[in-house]
Every structure is written in structure tokens, then in C-alpha cells.
Structure 1
């Protein structure tokens, strides 16, 4: 089967689960900005974990030349096939020759399209994930974002039987992408270098997502928080690390972050909340609350076990 990109939208990439464990070699982690939506898209399309898919900002349009099964997920996602609106977070049969249009109703958030099958895309450093900043991955291997006219070959998925029951994630189990609840933060190495006043300011203030956001990091604007550290050695940066540069405005490090950084860090966004934050758009306000690491670990185990249970019920 061949997939042809008719319209790339604002910014669309081929992504998979990223270059896990390769930061030590100087490569960024990469991977999906919203890993929850990515995982559900592949599951609903009958794919194995880690199968490539499309991550799109804006409305993306494609054509398929064979029958296939697809799934679209994300924050307020939309999907239509040949002009007919279809349900998201659900397996969908698509006939040969059909045009698929998908995106998000909220401009700037990410939508994910998984297509059932084995994707024939080149891998670089063990991953097909596109990193524009590193000029790595993608169809050409040079980190280029998708463009109109690009074609991707996908072979049939032997795991999909003709009698397979289509999969649906019930609405009550879809992630809540609102920000009424605070983003949980696990204190980091330099936590004690921030004064009690600075920490209290951070927890009690609302921060606005600025327009300076990308796959590398989210810059926030709001009340200034500063550490007592003036100079420090660069160290490894984890997904969700909240760096505080000299201006006191926090930066949350995302999937395509650099491997090392020399700014003090308040802590790290909980892995339970990083996908929600990754779907924020400029102008939205977020709040933070510190959480003990053992509580964060328990929340993570509960979330992952809940997902596996749900998947078992859907099968």
C-alpha cells in the first residue's frame, strides 16, 4: 500500500517511540510529543507498540491506494474520509483510493494518525523519528518534515483478521487535556537552591504558554523564579525538566531537547502529565504543584496498569 501526502498541514512528521537510551551518544530522545495519544493510535489501528505514525499540527490530507485500517487520536482530533466525518479514538476501515483528512480543532495541538501495517521508512540510530534540529530521520534521513507529494509504503498487517472487531476507546477513558488540574512536578537536583519564597511563587502562580514553543521546549511567562546558583556545570536533561534561565522564566524541556543543559532546574514534570502539557497551545495558562517522587511513581504505575487493563478489555 502507498500513502501519498496531498497536504502536509502546518507541520507534520513521521514519528515513532524515539531514540530511547541514546542521549549518552549525543542524540536527543525524540519520539511523540503526546505519547498517550500515540500509543492509543497504534493500538486502535492494530499496530505493535513503537510502530511509526504521523504527528500533525494543522489539517493533514492523504490518499491511500489500498483498503486499510486507521485510527486518529490527540487533543480534540477530527477525521473525515472522502468528506464523510468519522469517529476518532476508534478503528476505521478506509477503502482503496480514499482521501483521509485529519487534524485538531485546536490550532497548535497535535493529532496522530496510525495506519495498520508495517511501515517501510528508513531508520537512523535505531528510530524512524524525524528530528529537524539534528537533521536526522524522516523519509530522506536528513530530518526534513513531510511535504506535499511525499509517499510512504506500508505492507499488510498479518495481525488484522478480516473478522477482527473494530476497537473503540470510550469517551470517559480519553485523556482530559484541560488545565483545571495543576501539572505535577517532581523536585529535582537543584530544588534546594531555590528559596522558599521562589518555590511558593512557582506553586501559586499561573504561567502562560508563550508563542516560543516547539518540540525542543516550552517557554512559559509569569512570575519570575530564580535559584541561588549563578554558575553550574552542564548535566543531562530529562523529558519534562523545568529549567530556569537568568530571566527567571521557566522552560519545560520536551522530546527534541538538547542532551545537556547548564541552567538550574526546579524539577521534572510528572510522566503522567507531560502528554497533557505537550498539547497546550500559546496563550493557555497552566499551574504547577510539587509532588513527592514516590507518589509520582505510584501514579505512573497506576496509569500504565489502567491502560493495559483497558486494552485487554477492548481486545
Structure 2
């Protein structure tokens, strides 16, 4: 099957699970900004975990030349097939020659399109994930974003029968992407270098997502917080690490972050909340609350077990 890109949207990439464990070799982790939406898209499209899919900002339009099964997820996503609105967060059968249009309702948020099958895209350093800065991955293997006229080949998944029951994630189980609840943060390596006043300021202030956001990091604006560290050696940066440069404005490191950083880290966004933050758009307000690592671990185990239970019920 051929997937023809008719309209690329603002910024669309081929992504997969990313280059897990390759930071030690100098490659950024990459992967989906919203891993929850990515995982659900592949599950609903009858794909195995880690199968490539499309992460799109803005409205994207494609055409398929064979019958297939797709799923669209993300923050307030929408899906049209041949101009007719279809449900998201569920399997959709698409006929050969159909035009698929999908997007997120909020400009800057990401929508995910999974198509059932074996994606024929090259892998670089163990992953097909596109990293523009490193000129790695993607359709051409050189880190290029998708463009109008691109063609992606997908081999049919023979595990899915014609009479297979389509999968649906009920509305009440779709992630809440609002920011009424605070983003949970685990104290970082340099936490004790921030004064009690600085920590309290961070936890009681409201920060605004700035326009300086990308797959590398989200810069926040608000009350300044400062560390008493003036110089430090660069060290590895984890997904969600909150670096605080000299101006005191926090930067949350995201999927395409550099492998090393030399700013003190106040903490790290909980893996339970990083997908929610990754879907924020400039101008949105966020708050933070600290939790210890045992609470964070318990929250993560509860979230993953809940997902497995839901998937078992859907099958």
C-alpha cells in the first residue's frame, strides 16, 4: 500500500518509539512527544508497539491506494475521510483511494495517525524516528520532515482479518489534556542547590508556556527561580528535566533534547504528566507540584496497569 502525502500540514514527522538507550552514544532519545496518544493510535490500528506512525502539527491530508485500517489520536483531534467526519480514538476502515484529513483542534498540539501494517521506512541507529537537528531518520533517513508529494509504503498486516472487531477507546478513558491539575515534578540532582524560597516560589507560581517551544524543549515564563550553582559540569539529561539557566526561567527538556546539559536541574516532570505538557501550546498556564520518587513510581505503575487493563477489555 502507498500513502501519498497531499498536504503536509505545518510540521509532520514519521516517529516511532525512538532511540532508547542511545544517549550514551551521542544520539538524542527522540520518539513521540505524546507517548500516550502514540501508543493508543498503534493499539487501535492493530499495530505492534513501536510501529512508526505520523505525528502532525496542523492539518494534514493523505491518500491511500488500498483498503486499510487507521486510527487518529492526540489532543482534541479530528478525522475526515473523503470529507465526512469520523470518530477518533477508534479503528476506522478506509477504502482504497480515500482521502484522509486529520488535525488537532489547537494549533501547536499534535495529532497522531497510525495505519495498520508494516511501515517500509529506513531505520537509523535502530529507529525510524525523525530528528531534524541530527539529520537522522524519517522517510529519507536524513531527518527531513514530510512534504507534499512524499510516498510511504506500508505492507498489509495479515494478522487483521476482514471481520475483525474494530477497537474503540471510550471517551471517559481518553487523557485529560487540561491544566487544572498541577504537573507533578520529582526533585532533581541539584534540587538542594535551590533555596527553600526558590522551591516554594516555583511550586506556588503559575508559569506560561512561551512561544519558544519545540521538540527539544519548552521554555516557560514566570517567577524567577535561581540556584546557588554558578558553574557545573555537563551531565546527561532525562526526558522532562527542568533546567534553570541564569535568567531563572525554567526550561523543560523534551524528546529531541541534547544529550548533555550544564544548567542546574530543579526536578524532572513525572512520566505520568510529560505527555500532557507536551501537548501544551504557547500562552497556556501551568502549575507544578513536587512529589517524591516513590509516589511517582506508584503513579506510573497505576497508569500503565490501567492501560493494560483497558486494552484487555477492548480486545
Q: TM (normalized to structure 2)?
A: 1.00
Map of 1:281 onto structure 2: 281
Map of 2:261 onto structure 1: 261
For residue 113 of structure 1, report the CA deviation from its aligned partner.
0.1
Distance 2:140 2:118 in 1: 18
Distance 1:158 1:20 in 2: 28
Map of 1:155 onto structure 2: 155
- Equivalent positions of 1:198-237 (< 5 A) are 198-237=198-237
Please list every run of 5 or more consecutive structure 1 residues that lacks an aligned counterpart in the other structure: none
Map of 1:180 onto structure 2: 180
Map of 1:295 onto structure 2: 295
Distance 2:288 2:151 in 1: 42
Give per-residue Cα distances to partners, 1:165-220, cap 9 Å, x unaligned: 00000000000000000000000110000000000000000000000000000000
Map of 2:270 onto structure 1: 270
Q: Does 1:103 align with 2:103?
A: yes
Q: Secondary structure of the residue that 1:9 maps to in structure 2? A: coil
Map of 2:195 onto structure 1: 195
Map of 1:311 onto structure 2: 311
Give per-residue Cα distances to partners, 1:215-237, cap 9 Å, x unaligned: 00000000000000000000000
Q: Secondary structure of the residue that 2:307 maps to in structure 1? A: helix
4+ runs deviating over 3 angstroms: none
For residue 37 of structure 1, report the CA deviation from its aligned partner.
0.0
Q: Secondary structure of the residue that 2:24 maps to in structure 1? A: helix
Distance 2:150 2:203 in 1: 46
Distance 2:238 2:61 in 1: 34
Give per-residue Cα distances to partners, 1:136-190, cap 9 Å, x unaligned: 0011111000000000000110121112100000000000000000000000110
Q: Secondary structure of the residue that 1:126 maps to in structure 2? A: coil
Map of 1:116 onto structure 2: 116
Distance 1:13 1:159 in 2: 26
Map of 1:23 onto structure 2: 23
Please list every run of 5 or more consecutive structure 2 residues that lacks an aligned counterpart in the other structure: none
Distance 2:247 2:158 in 1: 54
For residue 112 of structure 1, report the CA deviation from its aligned partner.
0.1
Map of 1:141 onto structure 2: 141
Give per-residue Cα distances to partners, 1:208-267, cap 9 Å, x unaligned: 000000000000000000000000000000000000000000000000000000000001
Distance 1:141 1:156 in 2: 22
Map of 1:89 onto structure 2: 89
